[in-house]
Amino acid sequence: MAANPMSQFDVYRIGPEIKVGAFDISFTNASLFMIISTVSILLVFNFGSKRNSVLPNKMQLLAELSYTFVAKMISDTAGSKAKPYFAFIFSLFMFVLFCNMFGMIPYTFTVTSHIIVTFILASFIFIGVTIIGFIKHGFGYLKLFVPSGVPAVLLPLIVVIEIISYLSRPISLSVRLFANMMAGHTMMKVFGGFVISLGLVGGWLPLSFSVALTGLEILVAFLQAYVFAILTCIYLNDALNLHH
Amino acid sequence: MIKKIYFQSIFFSFLFFKEAFAAESGGMPQLNPEFWISQIFWLILTFGTMYVVLSKFILPKISNNLESRKSQILENIEAAEKQREDSEAKLKEYDEVILKSKSDAKTMFNQTREKALKDIMAKKEVLDQQIDDEINKAEKEIEVLRVSAPDKINKIAIETSSELLEKLIGSGVNSSSISAIVDDLSKRNGDKYYGN
């Protein structure tokens, strides 16, 4: 059972089955790690913002560096108009980052390795950005699909491509995060299985791979959270400043 | 030999894994929709709660902290700048005071020196005057004495010679003839005795 590298992604019920109407909203291991992530985020940033000393302590430094990091990322990619959405992008980045990082601890569950979670996040961003775009620009937002400086002959084709690429945004956004997390964790599990099966004689090679992969996966965990947040910023930038 | 065992074991382990996977393949758990609704529900609940708490309570506090720190640091820098300027002004003032007191001391020194010199000159003049007076007086006395000295000598010479003649001859001699001789002698030898 443990040898199956996909079994780490199994969702199972913790406690009794909870049903609202026809929907099963039981508390699962996924819910547990969502709660752990959010509670840790809130604790870290609560302690990081409690005291304001001129020389910050470690928690305060952590909170303020994250704040300025995300603020800089947003202002660099989406400009000053994106300021009202700072809190959302900050929460998004932190949530994805903490879920990814908690997944790196052995025997934990990686919330973001499930397509449904990333898809819900991505579609929420997609719908939100589309609504913001239509509120800001009205039907002028549709000019997003008509790039300027394109020959009239190519225009129908380009518009179709642009629409398809726009509609595939939530899919690419969600699949990128989900696939990265799932592939990384599966690979680590496979190499871990090799260590056991090869034993003392041949197990050292996959073990060293495993160590290297852990470092790589921590990098990927951060990078995917960053990519997720920065793509959100770019989509938001399209909606706020119609450049095309 | 060891190498051979190593690679063989790797090869066999692949075989074992294949068997293991084949025995337990259940597809990806991600595509099993059993808990999708539960995951969506809990995601919205946790993420929503976190977003509300972060945006309403925590993030404003952090941005407030950053702002106040920034302004405080700016204020401190301004205060430091001001104090530096103050100290520079004070230093300038101090330098000026030192320079002024130096020049004051110099002028005072010069004045006192001049005054002292003047006093000394005045005193010296007075003393010179006195010394000159004394010298003049003494010279006059000497002159008087010098003028009067030959007469007295002549007189003494006349008296002694007349006494000597009296003792030698035994009778008085006309004093006027003696004085004539003495005068004549003294006139002839005057240069020898008085140096004039």
Query: Which residues, other chains included, contact B22 with Cβ-Cβ below 8 Å and sequence gap of 6+?
Result: none
Cα separation, A232 vs A82, in Å, equals 11
A15 at the B interface (CB within 8 A)? no
**A17-21, A44-48, B40-44: range with lowest mean pLDDT:** A17-21
A37 touching B (Cβ < 8 Å): yes
What's the 3-state SS for A55-110?
CCCHHHHHHHHHHHHHHHHHHHHHCHHHHHHHHHHHHHHHHHHHHHHHHCCCCCCC
Q: How confident is the model at residue B20 (pLDDT cuts 50, 70, 90)?
A: very low
CB-based contact, A48 to chain B, within 8 Å: yes
Residues 6+ apart with CB under 8 A from B58: A42, A45, A46, A49
Q: What is the rounded CA–CA span in Å between residue A218 and residue A98?
A: 11
Q: Is the pLDDT assigned to residue B196 strictly greater than 50?
A: no
pLDDT (0 to 100) of residue A185: 93
Which residues in chain B have their CB less than 8 angstroms from residue A38's CB? 46-47, 49-50
The yes-or-no verdict on residue B166 having pLDDT over 90 is no
B10 interface with A at CB cutoff 8 Å = yes
Residue of A nearest to B34 (CA): A24
pLDDT-derived band at B19 (thresholds 50, 70, 90) equals very low
Band (B190; pLDDT cuts 50, 70, 90): low
- pLDDT band at B189; cut points 50, 70, 90: low
Query: Which member of A37, A46, A190 has the closest CB to residue B58?
Result: A46
Q: Does A170 touch chain B (CB under 8 A)?
A: no
Q: In this predicted structure, what is the pLDDT of residue B22?
A: 42
Q: Is B44 within 8 Å of A120 when comparing Cβ atoms?
A: yes
Pick the closest to residue B46 from A199, A176, A91 (CA basis): A91
Please count the structural domains in chain A: 1
Q: Residue B24: pLDDT band by 50, 70, 90 thresholds?
A: very low
* pLDDT (tens digit per residue) in B112-149: 999 999 999 999 999 999 999 999 999 999 988 888 88
In percent, how much of chain A has pLDDT > 70? 98
Which of B29, B47, B59 lies nearest to residue A11, judging by beta carbons? B29
Q: Which domain holds residue A42?
A: 7-240
Alpha carbons A113 and B16: distance in angstroms, whole number: 27
Q: Which residues contact A174 (CB under 8 A, 6 or more apart)?
A: A115, A118, A119, A121, A122, A123
Residue A1 at interface with chain B, using a CB cutoff of 8 Å = yes
DSSP sequence for B34-91: GGHHHHHHHHHHHHHHHHHHIIIIIHHHHHHHHHHHHHHHHHHHHHHHHHHHHHHHHH
Average pLDDT of chain B is 82
Q: Which residue of B has its CA nearest to A38?
A: B50
> What pairs with residue A23 in β-bridges?
A20
Which residue is it, tokens 């004539």? B180
Name the band, by pLDDT with cuts 50, 70 and 90, for residue A152.
confident
Q: Look at residue A1 and tell me if it is in a domain.
A: no
Q: Are A224 and A180 spatial neighbours (Cβ–Cβ below 8 Å)?
A: yes
B13, B21, B25 ranked by CB distance to A194: nearest: B13
Instruction: Round to whole Å and give the CA distance between A52 and B68.
Output: 9
In chain A, residues 195-214 whose CB comes closer than 8 Å to chain B: 197-199, 201-202
What pLDDT was estimated at residue B191? 54
Confidence of residue B28 (pLDDT cuts 50, 70, 90): confident
- Asked whether residue A26 is assigned to any structural domain, the reply reads yes
- Torsion angles phi and psi, residue A46, rounded to 5: -70, -45
**What is the tens place of the pLDDT at every residue in A95-136?**
999 999 999 998 899 999 999 999 999 999 999 999 999 999
- Residue B25 scores a pLDDT above 60: no
Mean pLDDT across B141-162: 83
Q: Which residues does A133 contact at the CB level (< 8 Å), separation at least 6? A: A141, A144, A238, A239, A240, A242
pTM of the model: 0.71
Q: Is A112 domain-assigned?
A: yes
Chain-chain contact of B54 with A116 (C-beta, under 8 angstroms): no
Whether A2 is covered by a domain: the verdict is: no
> B168: which 2 tokens?
């030698």
**pLDDT tens per residue, range A68-81:** 999 999 999 988 88
- Is residue B102 pLDDT above 90, yes or no? yes
Q: Tell me what pLDDT residue A15 has.
A: 84
B31 touches chain A (CB under 8 A): yes
- State chain A's mean pLDDT as an integer: 90
Answer yes or no: is pLDDT of B57 > 90.
yes
Q: For position B103, what pLDDT does the model report?
A: 95
Q: Which ipTM value was assigned to this complex?
A: 0.90
CB contact under 8 A, A30 and B62: no
- Chain A residues inside the 8 Å CB shell of B24: 1, 3-4, 7
